[in-house]
Amino acid sequence: MKHPTVVYWVSRALRTHDNQAFYQAQQIALNQNAQLIVLFNAYPKFPHANLRNMDFLLKGLAEMSDKCAKLNIPLYFRVGNIIDHLEVLNQCFDIRHIITEVHVLRPILAVQALVSNWAYKHDIRFLKVSTATVVPVQEASPKLEFAARTFRPKILKKYREYLNSDYILVHHPQQIALDDRFKTSDIEMFYASNPLPNLAISKLVPGEDAAINQLKTFIQNGLDHYDRRNQIDANGQSYLSAYLHYGMLSPTMMIRDVLNTQHPNAELFIEEAMVRRELAENYCFYMPMYDKLEGAWPWAIETLKKHEQDERPYLYTREVLEKAQTHDDLWNFCQRQVVEEGYLHSYLRMYWAKMVLLWTKNAAEAIDILVYLNDTYMLDGRDPNGYTGILWSVAGVHDRPWFDRPVFGLIRTMGKEGSIKKTGIKL
């Protein structure tokens, strides 16, 4: 007889701490006296997959698998069509529930729709649980928010009630073989059969232990300087974005720990790491065209169209931009950092993006190029924050109209001298 089984299909929360989806999967399994399996399905052809982002992901996943094994829960790693793998699993086990995370980006939503249909046909319950935000996206707001000022009061009113819950996993009583579980040694085998574009791997250590360490380091050493984070030398940035992107760090834990410090800069951090970050989630959830000019507000589309024929001071192709071969040493410096390190200081990201609008044919092309560069090279790329940051820079999403200028129209401009002064960067 096949044993009742719950599957936690993990994709956006590579952690065992404070993982609401994993916790809910285990609670269901415990209540039903069922086995619990964690399944990760890799798509080597997933948009912009490369050695940089896959190295970070897979090493983090191997660490998660080790932690799962200690809880008597196997983490299986599969490659290719998830439906085929679910079919095989369902032949061995009696799958009753599939739990996964709430997601807002189209490629994942498309796969989730396939799995949901498959589950429905097999009389399996399919459930999505929020893990990537403090306040679940639909509870934070039931609609597309216009700006931080419309979103802020809503989320600030609610978020504290989400900070107290503990999602602690327990040793799972149902015995299931752990031999087939994912291990670090499987990573090289995966690369051997699925060659990926080669990019230098990040200096950031992957995994949930490293994520929690980074949060502690930031609280001890960085939070004091967070109000001066625009100054590169102040070293006030947290470097948490990649950990948040892969869900190696729980946003709830991050906000709770920072709030508990009662540090005067805690509010500033919460503004970025919760208000702005969850505003980006709101944008991508309610705006399916989050990575296109069509995703901008009407005033911005109108002003950009009006200025489409304006003469550009320089016109660059994607290739020239990608190789950092523009006339502008600050921009080339930023682009080299993006390519070599997969990280760029947040103030400079805005300059980096806005110049692409100035130097390309039109806003639609600028957005396409930026999405390509951001998603290919940034370790935290392919994230709601990335699409929202690009649309903010190029097409004024969540911003207001400024003064009418060539090329930009009413979109806020940024200059090289001002950016150098603000960041104190030495070229």
Site residues (vs ligand FAD, CB under 6 A): 229, 237-241, 244-245, 272-273, 276-277, 280, 346, 349-350, 353, 374, 378, 380-381, 383, 385-386, 389-390, 393
Strands 4-9 vs 75-79: parallel, antiparallel or unpaired? unpaired
CA distance linking residue 197 with residue 216, whole number of Å:
33
Could you give the strand order of the β-sheet that contains 35-42, starting from the edge strand earlier in sequence? 75-79, 35-42, 4-9, 94-101, 125-129
Q: Which is nearer to ligand FAD, 10 or 273 (CB)?
A: 273
Helix axes 384-395, 363-377, angle to 10 degrees: 150
Tokens of 414: 């940024």
How far apart are CB 166 and ligand FAD at their closest, in Å? 23
DSSP 317: -
Q: Which is nearer to ligand FAD, 54 or 378 (CB)?
A: 378
How far apart are CB 286 and ligand FAD at their closest, in Å? 16
- Report the half-sphere exposure of 201 (CA within 13 A, side-chain side): 11
CA distance linking residue 421 with residue 401, whole number of Å:
24
Q: Residues 343, 335: contact at Cβ < 8 Å?
A: no
How far apart are CB 379 and ligand FAD at their closest, in Å? 9
Residues in contact with 360: Cβ distance below 8 Å, sequence separation at least 6, in sequence order: 312, 315, 316, 366, 369
368 by Cβ neighbours in 10 Å (0-12 / 13-18 / 19+) ranks as middle
How far apart are CB 81 and ligand FAD at their closest, in Å? 27
How far apart are CB 245 and ligand FAD at their closest, in Å? 6
Q: Which is nearer to ligand FAD, 28 or 249 (CB)?
A: 249
How far apart are CB 130 and ligand FAD at their closest, in Å? 16
How far apart are CB 239 and ligand FAD at their closest, in Å? 5
Q: Which is nearer to ligand FAD, 6 or 274 (CB)?
A: 274
Q: Which is nearer to ligand FAD, 273 or 304 (CB)?
A: 273
CA distance linking residue 158 with residue 173, whole number of Å:
36
CA distance linking residue 375 with residue 49, whole number of Å:
9
Q: Residues 6, 99: contact at Cβ < 8 Å?
A: yes
CA distance linking residue 216 with residue 206, whole number of Å:
15
CA distance linking residue 34 with residue 38, whole number of Å:
13
Q: Which is nearer to ligand FAD, 33 or 235 (CB)?
A: 235
CA distance linking residue 236 with residue 218, whole number of Å:
8
Q: Which is nearer to ligand FAD, 65 or 238 (CB)?
A: 238
Extended strands (E) in 236-315: none
How far apart are CB 356 and ligand FAD at their closest, in Å? 9
Q: Which is nearer to ligand FAD, 116 or 346 (CB)?
A: 346
How far apart are CB 354 and ligand FAD at their closest, in Å? 8
How far apart are CB 283 and ligand FAD at their closest, in Å? 10
The structure tokens 């996943």 sit at 61
How far apart are CB 365 and ligand FAD at their closest, in Å? 15
Q: Which is nearer to ligand FAD, 240 or 248 (CB)?
A: 240
Q: Residues 125, 98: contact at Cβ < 8 Å?
A: yes
Angle at CA of residue 140, ends 139 and 143, nearest 5°: 90
- Measuring CA to CA, which residue among 242, 244, 231, 254 is closest to residue 203? 242
Q: Which is nearer to ligand FAD, 295 or 389 (CB)?
A: 389
- Measuring CA to CA, which residue among 15, 71, 9 is closest to residue 211? 15
Q: What are phi and psi of 42, to 5 degrees?
A: -95, 140
Q: Which is nearer to ligand FAD, 250 or 393 (CB)?
A: 393
